Amino acid sequence: MIKLEDIKKYESYIIEKRRDFHKHPETGFKEFRTSKIIKEELLDMGFEITEGVGVTGIVGKLVGNSNGKTVLLRADIDALNMQEETDVDYKSVNDGVMHSCGHDTHTAMLLGACKYFSENKEKLNGILKVVFQSAEEGPMPGGGSFVVKDGHLDDVDAVFGQHITTSDLSGTISIKKGPAMAAPDEFKITINAVGTHASAPHTGSDAILISAEVVSSLQKIVSRNISPLDAAVISVCTIHGGTAFNILPDKVELTGTIRTLKKDTRQFIFRRMKEITDAIASMNNCDISLELIEAYPPLYNHEKESDFIVDIAEKLIGKDNVYILDEPSMGGEDFSYYLEKRPGSYFWLGGRCKDAKTTYYNHNPKFNIDENALFIGTAMHINIAIEYLSK
């Protein structure tokens, strides 16, 4: 077991890289600066690399002291379209772009592990693959789909990933075995009706009223068409329509998200939404188009590999700091592509400062983490690779 004190020498490197990536965030499939730095670092460390995976993704390979099994560790490298509101010295210099999900930390932690193995190659009883993946936040279908499609998992025995979160205190690790995260699909509904003066609604077809009917009917799918024992969410998140207080518009657009944990439930909701929008269009003498933007599949953590993660985490930070979750998250994550292809597991790394007066969760413009968590995440990467390849 590689302990936290064993990687103390990499502290300044990990923090320096994390802050640099945080200061220069880039969104999905546009992470050119980030990718260039990763490439240069991996080459200096002696890794074989494949670049341009999903436009900007990098795959690295390091052969240890044998050609045994192959284990894959993954970090995502993209940021979000969000204006940062923190006051840190390394605040984003790219207007309207921020690492508010923590992918800067993921990249730095995996680079820290790579640096460790470049200096301790003899500890690898097999082959280490690392993926620095583009576009986890989209656009769809996400960068993970290209990693799998291009065959980078074909020679891999197991895959592992982690995600930092301020939902949990720094110094903790959480994991959900089995169904762990949802498919985060998107939808867009366009209602094309007949606009008219608000004083004479009978001379047109009211797109605003029709949109209200659509929203109400969509909510009935979860409450009345799906078993209460099956988790699903349909949320309408934007409604755009109208130009004046006394005009009924001829067009309204709605967008939102669908979250499901089961493939059959996912497909049922797709079918039911089409049936509902077609029926409402017929009843209201208008045209309604439904666009479904399929995202990542649900994320399923394999039992054996999840137990493996729990064992390593308990040895590293103590049993009292490791939590096995009972309930999945309805958030989405494109590491699900990897877990469909190969056995593995995905876990949560606590990143909230213990003395924080206010918690700013992932995807908040004030999001920031306790950098002490970076060494736990780096140590988890290192121990996963060593222990998996030694079995």
* Domains of the chain, CATH where assigned: 4-182+298-390 (3.40.630.10), 183-293 (3.30.70.360)
pLDDT for 263 equals 93
Contact 295, 181 (CB under 8 A): no
DSSP at 80: B
Of 287, 196, 290, the closest CA to residue 242 belongs to 196
pLDDT at residue 285 is higher than 90: yes
- Residues sharing a CB contact under 8 Å with residue 209, sequence separation 6 or more, in sequence order: none
Contact 337, 302 (CB under 8 A): no
Structure confidence by residue, pLDDT tens digits, 373-388: 999 999 999 999 999 9
Place 87 in a pLDDT band, splitting at 50, 70 and 90: very high
Question: d(Cα 86, Cα 107) in Å, to the nearest integer?
Answer: 20
Place 391 in a pLDDT band, splitting at 50, 70 and 90: confident
Question: d(Cα 284, Cα 206) in Å, to the nearest integer?
Answer: 9
- Residues sharing a CB contact under 8 Å with residue 87, sequence separation 6 or more, in sequence order: none
How confident is the model over 103-124, as a mean pLDDT?
98
**Catalytic residue numbers, as ranges:** 296, 371
How confident is the model over 235-255, as a mean pLDDT?
97
pLDDT for 66 equals 78
**Continuous H helices in 221-287:** 263-284
pLDDT for 48 equals 98
- Average pLDDT of the chain is 97
pLDDT for 336 equals 98
Report how far apart, in Å, the C-alpha atoms of 96 and of each of 24, 31, 84, 165, 365 are. 11, 15, 7, 22, 10
Tokens encoding 177: 């075995």
pLDDT for 295 equals 94
Structure confidence by residue, pLDDT tens digits, 335-348: 999 999 999 999 99
- Name the least confident of 63-67, 80-84, 148-152, 273-277: 63-67
Question: d(Cα 126, Cα 312) in Å, to the nearest integer?
Answer: 19
Question: d(Cα 101, Cα 81) in Å, to the nearest integer?
Answer: 11
